[in-house]
Structure 1
Amino acid sequence: MKKISLLSILLFLVSFTYSSLAQKLPSISEKTKGLKKYEGFLPFYWDEDAGKIWLQIDKFDKEFLYYSSLPAGLGSNDIGLDRGLLGDEKVVFFQKIGRKILLTQPNYKYRALTNDANEKRAVQQSFASSTIWGFVAEAEEDGKVLVDATDFLMSDVTGIADRIKGMKQGSYSLDKSRSAMYLTNTKNFPLNSEFEVTMTFVGGEDAGEFVRSVAPSQEALTLRVHHSFLQLPDSDYKPRVFDPRSSFNAISYFDYSTPVSEPIDKYYIVRHRLKKKDPKAKVSEAVEPIIYYLDNGTPEPIRSALMEGAQWWNQAYEAAGYKNAFQVKLLPDDADPMDARYNVINWVHRSTRGWSYGASIIDPRTGEIIKGHVTLGSLRVRQDYLIAQGLLSPFEKGEKLDPEKDPMLKMALTRLKQLAAHEVGHTLGLMHNYSASINNRASVMDYPHPTVKLNSKGEVDLSDAYALGIGDWDKYSITFGYQDFPQGTDEKTALNKIIDEANTKGLLFLTDIDARPAGSHSPTAHLWDNGKNPVDELNNTLAVRQKALSSFGENTIRKGMPMSHLEDVLVPIYNYHRYQVEAAAKIIGSVDYRYALRGDGQKPNTLVSKETQQKALDAVLQTLSSETLTIPELIIQLIPARPAGYWPNRELFKKRTGRAFDPLAAAESAADFPLQFLLQPERTSRMVEYEARYSSLGLEEMLNQLVEKTWKAPKTTGLARKVQFQTEQIVLTHLLALSVNEATNYQVRAVCGKAIKDLKAYIESQKNTKESDYAAHLDYAVERMKNPSAAKVATHKEMAPGAPIGCDEE
C-alpha cells in the first residue's frame, strides 16, 4: 500500500507541474502592475517589496554582448579582486523553448565563414556551446516574456568565492539574505542595460592573512558585482589582419570553410574603431574620437599627471594622420565607470602596492574594442618616491620638503605619467615592448626603471629618470593599427611599408615571452632595464648605488620617523642594481633574434659574440664581490628593531636573526639573485650547444671564472669575510643542484660534476689553514658535496619585492 500511495503522489505532482506549466500565463502588464519600469536595451521592472528584477525579453535568437565586473572590491592585491576588475566578455542570445528561456553562448572559437547553412551547422554541432543560465517565463504579452532575473544577477558570476579559496584564503559562500540589488547603479539605456548587486560571502573560519588584513569582519565579505548587457557593434567595422611584428594583441579562431591550401587559423588585431572624416586627407578629424575618462576620485597632483600621461597617445594618433582623435576627460559625477559606454582610467586602492593593468571588453567576433578599462594602483607612486628618497637622502634639516621644489615628488609624478600612458596603451590593443629601452626608450609599453646618473660633481641626478611623451615605436604601432587608408589602397602592402620603415630605423619589438622567463635568450628584451648597452648600464647603476649607500643615514628619513624605517628605504637602494643584473646575465647564452617573416628582409637570428658575453659575465661577477654585497657598518648601526605598533612586512629584508637587522640575509638574497640567471638550466644547456656550434662562451669557462671570483678570491676580514663565505656556499648550492637537474642536457651535468670535483680538490689543498672559521667553512662545503640532491636553491633567502607584487601583471 505504501508503494501505491507513493506512486500516486508522484503522478499527482507530475500532473500538477505539467498543468501549471501548460496553463495560460498572465500578461506582462498584469504581472508588473504597480512596479517601476526601466525602459532601454533590455527593459526591466523593479519589485521593491520582493527585492526582485523582472526582465522583459523580446530579443530571441539575436546575439548581444554580456560581461560582469567588480565595482567594489576586496582591497587585497594578492587575491586580485580589485575594484574595477572585469570578467570575460561573452556573445550570448536568448533562446525560447516553451516556458524555458536559455541564455546561450555560441562557440566563436570555431566557425565556418560561408553562406552555406549546412556547412555552418556542421561546425556548430561539432563543438560545444555554453548555456549560461536558464530562466522560466512568468508572464507573456505580444511575443515578449517576463522572467525573474534576480537569482542570475545574484549569482557568483565573477567567481569571488573560488578566487578566495584558490588563493588559500578561506572557504566562503554567498549569503542571499545579506545580498540585494544596488539600485544606484542599476540603469537602462538604448544600447546597454546595467545591473549592480551587493553580495555578501560568509564563512571565514579558515580566513587567510590576505583576507584578515583588509576585511572589517572576516566572517562576512561584502562586495558589489555589476552586469552589463549591450548591443553588439554594427557590421561597419573592418577587422585588420594580425602581424606578429606589429606589437598588437590578437584574437584568433579556426575557420573550417577555409580552402585546404590555406591556413585554417585566422588572426585579427585588437583595436578600437576609428575612421577619418576624410580618408584621403593626410590629416583629418575622426568621425568619432576615442575618449577616455579619468576616475574623478583621483586627487591632485596625481590627477593632472595621469591626465597628461594618458593624453600622450594623441601624439601617436597625430603621427597616424588624425587630428584630436584621442581625448582624455574627467569622469562626470553622474557617470558609472562600470557603464559599458565609458573607456575609463580607474585610480584603485589596495592594502599593499601591486600591479596596474589595462584590460578591454572586445567583440570576440572581430577584435573590436568596445570598452577600455585601466586600473592604476595608488601605492605605486609611493614606491617611486621611496626610491628617490633613498637615492638622495634629502632631509638634512629633517623637515618635509616644499612640493613645488621636491625632486622626489617630481620623479614620482613623471613615472605616473608614463604609467598612465602604458596602461592605456594596453587598452588600445598593444602588447609590451621590452626591447624599447635599447632604442632610446622608444616605447611607453616597456617597463622603465628610473634612469639615474651621476653628474659632473658626482651627485645623483634624477632629471632624466623617466621619458616624457610617446616613443617612436608607439607611433609606428598606432599607425599600423589605426591608419584609415583611402579606398583602393592595397592594405597589406601599406601595412608592410609601415613595419619596414620601423625596421629600417632599427626599432625593435619583443614582448613578454621573450623577456619574463629566467631562461629567456634575447640580449635585448628585459624588464625594467635601461640603456642601449645593458652591461654599461649595470656599471652605471652600481656607481649610483654606491653613491646612494655612501650618503645613506639619518638624512634619508624625516625627523620624527622611527629610525627602524631606514630599512624600508634601504631595501630598494641596496637592491637597486637587480634589474640591470638580470639584463646583463641574460646576454650570456643568448641569440639576437627578430619576429621575422619570410621575405621581409630581417635576419631571424644573429649570434652574440663571445666578447660581448664575456663583458656581461665580468660585470655580473662584480655583483658577487664582498665589496658590493656588504652593507656598511655605519648603516647597520642606525637600524634598530621596529618599535611596537610598527609591524614588519614583506617589503623588508628577510631575516634569520629574529627582530635584529640581518645584513647577512640581505647579502644572501643579493648573491643568490644573479646566480639564478647565470646558472639557469635552459641558459646552461644553450651555452653547451653554442660553444660547440660557434665557439661561444662555454659553460666550463663560465664556471671556472665563477669559482675564481668567489672561492679563490683573496679572503677579507670582518663582516665582509662572512659575506664572502656565504656567497661561496650559495655558489656551491647552485652547482650541486645543477649537476643533478634533469631539465639540463647531459653535458651540463657532466661539466657541473667536473667543476664540483675541481672545487673539492681546491678545498682539500686549503685545509691546512690555521683560521678556524675558514676551516669550518671548507669542511661544511665538503660535507655538502657528498649529497648533491640535498642542495635546494629555494632555501636561500629570497629578495624583497622590487617589481609590483601580487597575482597580476602590468
Structure 2
Amino acid sequence: MGLTPINFPYALTTGDPVAAQTDADEADEAEAEEEEELHSFGETVAGMQVHQGLFTVYTNLREGESYLAIRPDQLNRNFMMLATLESGIGESGLFRGWPINDVVFQFREMAGDRLQVTVPNTYIRNPGNQAWQQRLLEGSFSDSVIFAVDVKAVDPNTGVMLIDLSALVMQQDLANAFGVLGSVTWTHFPNLDLSRLDQVKAFEGNVEIGAEVVFSGGSGGDPLANLFGFALESIPDDRGFSVQVRYSLSALPVNNGYEPRVADQRVGYFLTVFRAPFQVGRPDPFVRYINRWHLEKQNPSADISVPKAPLVFWIENTTPPEYREAIAAGVLMWNEAFEQAGFKSAIQVRQMPDNADWDPADVRYNVIRWSDSLDPWAIGLGPSRVNPLTGQILDADVILDANTVRYLQQQYQTRGLDSNPTALGYLQNCGQRSQTWFQQWQILQQQGEAGLDQALALAQTPSPSNIDHILEAQCAGYTATQRNGFGSLALSVLPGAQFAPEQLDTYIQQYLTAVTAHEVGHILGLRHNFAGSRSLDPAVLNTPAVTQSQGLVSSVMDYFPPNIAAPGEYQGEFFPSRVGAYDRWAVEYGYSETPPSLGDSQERQTLAAIAGRSSQYPELAYASDEDIFDFIDPEVDAWDLSNDPMVFAAWQLENAQAVWGRLNRLSVAPGEGFGGLRQRVDLVFNYYTGNALTIANYVGGQRFRRTDPWTQTGPAPLSRYQPRNSGRPWPF
C-alpha cells in the first residue's frame, strides 16, 4: 500500500474567497472592538477619585468600584502585599494590630487581556552569575501562578492597564487573608457578599487599602458550643461580626545599597533561607541570611556615627499616657547595643499625635501598638515583615495587650480558667518540661494502645498539629501572667517595706519597660535566647549598683521571671532596666560595619571574630526555642534567673510558702466571694510547682553550647551540684 500525502486545507488561507472574506470581516470586527476597548479607559474612570502614588488608583467606593492602574514597567517586578488586622473582636485570634499574612508577587502579561498574578520562587535560587545555571534553574523549578485578573481597560497612549482592585484583594484574596482568618475562627467564615473596600490612600512608596471583612456563621445558640468554649463571647449576636483589615501594597527595594549578612549559628537571629543547588564544593545547599534593618553610618570611617536614617518607632495614641514613658524606655534601651555596633542614636521614639492623619498599620510607620482583648493569646508580640530575597526588615510593629497591666494589678482571676477543657489541662502545664510528657500521657489515656504511635511521634515533635501551635502561642502569655502575677500578689500581701503595696506601680512600670525591650528585640531581628538569664550571682541580684551597670540578665530575649527577693532580704530591681552582654554582642554581629575600603574579605573576618567570642564568655551563650524542647540542658530554660538557678528557685519556694501563709489569714475582699481567693491559691501553687520543676530538671542534665564545630566537645553531664552557702536553709 502506498503512502497518501496529507493535503493541507489551502482554502483556509488563500484558496477559498468566501472563507477569506469571512476571516477579513472577523478581523475588522476584532480590531474595532479592540479600538473601542482602548478608548474606553477614560470612560471607565470618569468621575472617579484619583489617588496617585506607587500605583494610581481610581475609586468610587460608594458604588463599590475601584481600579488599580498598572504601568507596563510595573510588570514582572516584585511587589509585597501585607495584611494586618486593623480592628478585632478581642478573642479567637482576632486581635487588633496582629499581622495576618504577607506575600511577594508579580503581575505578568498573558494573552486575552488578562494578567497573571504570580508568586516568584524565592526559595530556590542561583546566587552565581553563570547563564547555564540560570537556564537549568528555570527549567527545573517553577514559580507559583495563583490566579489571573481581567484587564478592564488599556490607555492607548501609555499602555497603562486597569484591573479591578476589589477582585484582586477580596475575591481573589491575593494576601490569603481570608484563608488565614477563616482557619482561626473555626465557627465563622468570611462572607464576601457583605465585605467591601472602604478606604484607599496612595503614597510614593505604597498604597494603603482598608477593607471591612464580614464573618458569618456561629454556633446558632447551640448550648454545647457554649459549654465547650466554641461560641464567641465578645459579640452581641453570634451569627456574625466584622473586622477591619489593612492591606499595604509596596515595591520590594532594588539596588538600595543593602548588603545581606550571612548567619552564624552562635548568634540568634531570625533567618531568610534559600537553597542554592548549584554551589559546588559546599556540603550544605542552603544559604542563610539574618533578618535586620538597613542601617548605614553617615560617616562610614568613624568608629561611632549617627545613621543616615535612624529607626523611628511611634507610640500609638491609644496607649494610656501613664505608661508611655516606660514603653519608650524599653525601646530606647537598645541604643546602648547599637553603640557597641558603631551607631549613635540609632533608635528614636516619637508619640503618635491624637489627630494623626495616618493609620498605625501604614507600612511607612513602625508603631508600638496598644491592644485590648477578652482572652489574649500573648501579652506582647513583635512581628516584622522581611524582604525574602535579602533578609532586610521592611516594616515592624510591637503589639502590647492591655491585660498585661490588669493581671499585674491582680485582676487576673479568669486568666486561663475560661479556656475550653481541652486547652485547660495543657495551659496548666505551660512553661514546664513536663508539658510534652503530659500531652503523651493525655493521648494514651484517651486512646489507649491506639494512641501509642501518636504519643511516640509527639516525643520527637513537640507540636505536631495546628491546634498545638495555637496552644503554644497562648502558653507563653499564660505562663508570663502566672509568674508576674505572683510577683504583684507578693507585693500586695507580704509584710515589710520591701513589699509595700505602693511598690506595685514601680513593678508595673519596670515590667512594661522590660517586655517592650523584649518585643523590640524581636523586631530588630533577634530570636529568643533561653540561655540569657544566667549572668549574675544570686548574691548580687538585688544590688542595684550591679544590675543597673551590668544588667539583670545577659539577654532580654529570654523569658525571665520577676526578681522577687527572698523573704526579709533587700529588694532590688524587679525586671531588667538595660540590655545584657549577649544583646549588645548580637547587635554588634548583625549591624556593625567595616569600612568599604577593606572589602568583603575583611568583613567576613570581622564577623567571624565577633562570633568567636561566644566560646570565651559564658554570658554570650545562645539557645533558642528548638533547644528548650530538647530537654537536655537544664540551664537552657525559661523563667529561671542567676548563674545558679537552683538558689533563685529555692528563694521563690520560700516566697510562695510565705504568700500561702498570708492568704490563710487574709479575709476575702468585700463582695468578692471565695472564688477570688481560690484563684490566688492556684496562682501560688502554680508558681511553687514551676520553681520546684526548675530544680528537678538538674537531675540527669547535660550541658549544651553552640560553638565552632572544631572546638565542639558535645553535651557533657553536669557535674555534681554543690549547694552554695546562701545563708538560707533549703526549703525542702
> TM (normalized to structure 2)?
0.75
What's the counterpart of residue 521 of structure 1?
Answer: 632
The aligned counterpart of 2:625 is: 512
Q: Separation in 2 of the partners of 1:277 and 1:373?
A: 26
How many Å separate the matches in 2 of 1:83 and 1:378? 11
Q: CA deviation at 1:375?
A: 1.6
Q: Is the 8 A contact 1:69 1:158 kept in 2?
A: no
Aligned with residue 583 of structure 2, among 464, 467, 474: 474
Tell me if the contact between 2:653 and 2:691 (Cα under 8 Å) persists in the aligned partners. no
CA apart distance, 1:111? 0.8
Tell me: CA distance 1:538–1:395, structure 2 relative to 1, closer, same or farther (3 Å): closer
1:430 aligns with 2:450: no
- Report what 2:242 is aligned to: 222
**2:391 alignment counterpart:** 367
RMSD (CA atoms): 2.9
Closer/same/farther in 2, CA of residues 385 and 533 from structure 1, 3 Å limit: farther
Native 8 Å contact 1:161 1:171 kept in 2: no
Secondary structure of the structure 2 residue equivalent to 1:151: helix
Q: Deviations for 1:320-348, whole angstroms, at most 9, x for unmatched residues?
A: 22111111212242221111111121111
AA in 2 matched with 1:62: R
Shift of 1:570: 2.5
> Offset at 1:136?
0.6
Give the unaligned 5+ runs of structure 1: 1-14, 617-621, 626-810
Q: How many Å apart are 1:168 and its aligned residue?
A: 7.2
Alignment partner, residue 153 of structure 2: 139
Determine if contact 2:90/2:376 at 8 Å carries over to the other structure.
no
* Separation (CA, whole Å) in 2 of partners of 1:530 and 1:210: 38
Aligned match of 2:360: 337
Cα distance, 1:393 vs. partner?
3.7
Instruction: Tell me which residue corresponds to 1:263.
Output: 284
What is the CA distance between 1:513 and its match in structure 2?
1.0
Pick closer, same or farther for the CA change 1:129–1:211 going to 2, 3 Å: farther
Partner of 1:530: 641
For residues 270 and 20 of structure 1, the distance between their equivalents in structure 2, rounded to whole angstroms, comes to 52
Q: Which amino acid aligns with 2:397?
A: H
1:126-169 Cα offsets, whole Å, 9 max, x none, are: 23322344211111112111111212222456666655664674
Pairing 1:172–2:172 present: no
Aligned residue for 2:15?
A: none
Q: Which residue of 2 aligns with 1:677?
A: none
Kept in 2, the 8 Å contact 1:393–1:551? The answer is: no
Confirm or deny: 8 A CA contact 1:354 1:380 kept in the other structure.
no
Aligned residue for 1:69, secondary structure, equals strand
2:516 to 409, 420, 425: 420
Alpha-carbon separation, structure 2, partners of 1:255 and 1:427: 27
Shift of the 20–585 alpha-carbon distance from structure 1 to 2, 3 Å rule, reads farther
1:266–1:395 CA distance, 2 compared to 1 (3 A): closer
Q: Conserved in 2, the CA contact under 8 Å of 1:414 and 1:468?
A: yes
Go from structure 1 to structure 2 and tell me whether the alpha carbon gap of 1:246 and 1:101 turns closer, same or farther (over 3 Å shift): same
Partner of 2:88: 73
Cα separation, 2, equivalents of 1:250 and 1:94: 27
In structure 2, what is the Cα distance between the partners aligned to 1:392 and 1:261?
A: 57
**CA displacement at 1:420 relative to structure 2:** 0.3
Gap change, CA 1:86 and 1:482, over 3 Å in 2: same
Paired position in structure 1 for 2:708: 597
- The structure-2 alpha-carbon separation of the partners of 1:171 and 1:560, relative to structure 1 and needing over 3 Å to count, comes to closer
Alignment correspondent of 2:407? 383
What are the superposed Cα offsets for residues 460-485 of structure 1, whole Å, 9 maximum, x if unpaired?
A: x6532212111111000101100011
In the alignment, what sits opposite 1:85? 98
| Cα distance change on mapping 1:388 and 1:503 into 2, 3 Å | same
What one-letter code is carried by the residue in structure 2 that aligns with 1:249?
Answer: F
Q: TM-score when scaled to structure 1?
A: 0.68
Residue deviations 1:179-214 (CA, integer Å, cap 9, x gap): 22222xx21101111111001111213666355212
Cα contact 1:174–1:202 (8 A) shared by 2: yes
Q: 1:552 to 1:20 in 2, by over 3 A?
A: farther
1:513-544 CA-partner distances (Å, limit 9, x unpaired): 111x2x51112111111221222222111111
In structure 2, give the amino acid aligned to 1:240: R
Match among 564, 567, 570 for residue 452 of structure 1: 564
Shift of 1:366: 0.4
8 A Cα contact 2:382 2:522, kept in partner: yes
> How far is the alpha carbon of 1:506 from its aligned partner?
1.7
Provide the C-alpha distance between the structure 2 equivalents of 1:96 and 1:114, rounded to a whole number of angstroms: 28
Q: 1:88 to 1:564 in 2, by over 3 A?
A: closer
* 1:439 pairs with 2:535: yes
Contact 1:203 1:220 in 2 (8 A): yes
Indicate which of 14, 17, 23 corresponds to 2:34.
23
Distance 1:42 1:118, change over 3 A: farther
Greater Cα offset, 297-306 or 114-123: 114-123
Extract unaligned runs of 5+ from structure 2: 1-25, 411-485, 537-552, 725-729
Give the direction of change, closer, same or farther, for the CA distance of 1:86–1:126 in structure 2 (3 Å limit).
Answer: farther
- Alignment partner, residue 409 of structure 1: 505
1:188 — aligned with what? 202
The CA distance in 2 between the partners of 1:278 and 1:348, in whole Å, is: 39
Q: 1:74 to 1:168 in 2, by over 3 A?
A: closer
TM-superposed CA distance for 1:104, in Å, is 1.0
State the shift of 1:424 in Å.
0.8
Contact residue 164 and residue 170 of structure 1 kept, 8 A: no
Q: For residue 268 of structure 1, report the CA deviation from its aligned partner.
A: 0.7
| 8 Å contact kept, 1:153–1:197 | no
Residue 95 of structure 2 aligns to a residue whose secondary structure is coil
CA contact (8 A) 2:634 2:701 kept: yes
Is the CA contact 1:193–1:230 (under 8 Å) kept in the aligned structure 2? yes
Q: 1:270/1:154 Cα in 2 relative to 1: closer, same or farther (>3 Å)?
A: same
1:263 deviation in Å?
A: 3.3
Residue 282 of structure 1 is matched in structure 2 by 303
AA aligned to 2:335 is: N
* Alignment deviations for residues 374-398 of structure 1 (CA, whole Å, 9 cap, x no partner): 12122122223332342134499xx
Task: State the distance in 1 between where 2:131 and 2:210 align.
Answer: 39
2 CA distance for matches of 1:556 and 1:320? 55
* Structure 2 CA distance for aligned equivalents of residues 514 and 48 of structure 1: 51
Kindly provide the amino acid, as one letter, of the partner of residue 238 in structure 1.
E
Tell me the alpha carbon deviations over residues 572-603 of structure 1, each in whole angstroms, 9 at most, x when there is no partner.
2222233333332322232111112234x454
Preserved CA contact (<8 Å) 1:107 1:124:
no
User: Does structure 1 residue 150 correspond to structure 2 residue 166?
Assistant: yes
Distance 2:390 2:667 in 1: 54
Q: Aligned in 2, Cα 1:572/1:133: closer, same or farther, shift over 3 Å?
A: same
Question: 1:496/1:395 Cα in 2 relative to 1: closer, same or farther (>3 Å)?
Answer: closer
Per the alignment, do residues 268 and 196 of structure 1 end up closer, same or farther by CA in structure 2, a change over 3 Å counting?
same
For the 8 Å contact 2:207–2:248, the answer to whether it is kept is: yes
Q: CA separation in 1, counterparts of 2:644 and 2:368?
A: 34
The aligned residue for residue 798 of structure 1 is none
CA distance in 2, matches of 1:312, 1:211: 42
Matched, 1:463 2:575: no
Q: Show the counterpart of 1:291.
A: 312
Matched letter for residue 140 of structure 2: S
SS in 2 for 1:309: helix
Amino acid at match of 1:498: I
1:93–1:105 contact (8 Å) kept in structure 2: yes
The residue aligned with 2:446 is none
Among 488, 492, 495, the residue aligned to 2:607: 495
Match in the other structure for 2:544 = none
Change (3 A) 1:389 1:173: closer
Task: Find the residue that maps to 2:700 and give its secondary structure.
Answer: coil
Q: Give the distance between the partners of 1:365 and 1:23, measured in 2 at CA.
A: 39
The alpha-carbon deviation at position 301 of structure 1 amounts to 1.8
- For the 8 Å contact 1:90–1:364, the answer to whether it is kept is no
Kindly provide the CA deviation profile for residues 68-116 of structure 1, in whole angstroms up to 9, marking residues without a partner as x.
Answer: 221112311xx32222222343321111113111121111000112334
Looking at structure 1, the residues matched to 665 and 66 of structure 2 have their Cα atoms a distance apart, in angstroms, of 62
Alpha-carbon distance change, 585 to 317 in structure 1, aligned in 2, over 3 angstroms: same
Answering whether residue 48 of structure 2 is matched by residue 35 of structure 1, we say yes
Verify: 1:201 aligned to 2:225, yes or no: no
Q: Tell me how far apart the structure 2 counterparts of residues 580 and 350 of structure 1 sit (CA, whole Å).
A: 29
Structure 1 residues 127 and 211: CA distance shift in structure 2, 3 A: farther
Q: Structure 1 residues 171 and 81, CA, compared in 2 at 3 Å: closer, same or farther?
A: closer
